[in-house]
Amino acid sequence: MTQQATIHDNVTYRPGDGAPIEIPQGPAEVELAPDSATLSWTEENGAAGVTAIPLTEYKEYVENKQITLDSPE
């Protein structure tokens, strides 16, 4: 199930062995799997962004309110 969320603070992902890349603040979609969370967003230039992060890392971001889940309307 896809959930709407908002990125509020420094949320990063690491592509392969590369340096961490920051996900821009603003709206995002979250799809949860048993071991990961897939985040998707739109960059300022209109490009789509998508990454998967470990579920434990995602839960830390939510606990620290760096990611908040939007309430269904």
Residue type, 52: A
Note down the domain range covering 8. 2-69
- Residues 39, 51: contact at Cβ < 8 Å? yes
Domain with residue 36: its CATH number is 2.30.30
pLDDT score for 71: 80
DSSP state of 58: H
Region 20-36 average pLDDT: 96
Q: Roughly how many angstroms between the first and final C-alpha of the chain, as a whole number?
A: 16
Tokens of 28: 């995002």
Q: What gap in Å lies between CA 18 and CA 66, rounded to an integer?
A: 22
> By C-alpha distance, which of 53, 58, 3 is closest to 28?
3
Q: By percentage, how much of the chain surpasses pLDDT 90?
A: 85
pTM for the predicted model, two decimal places:
0.89
pLDDT score for 1: 76
Confidence of residue 54 (pLDDT cuts 50, 70, 90): very high
Tell me how many domains the chain contains.
Answer: 1
> By C-alpha distance, which of 36, 64, 62 is closest to 50?
36
pLDDT score for 66: 98
13 has a pLDDT exceeding 70? yes
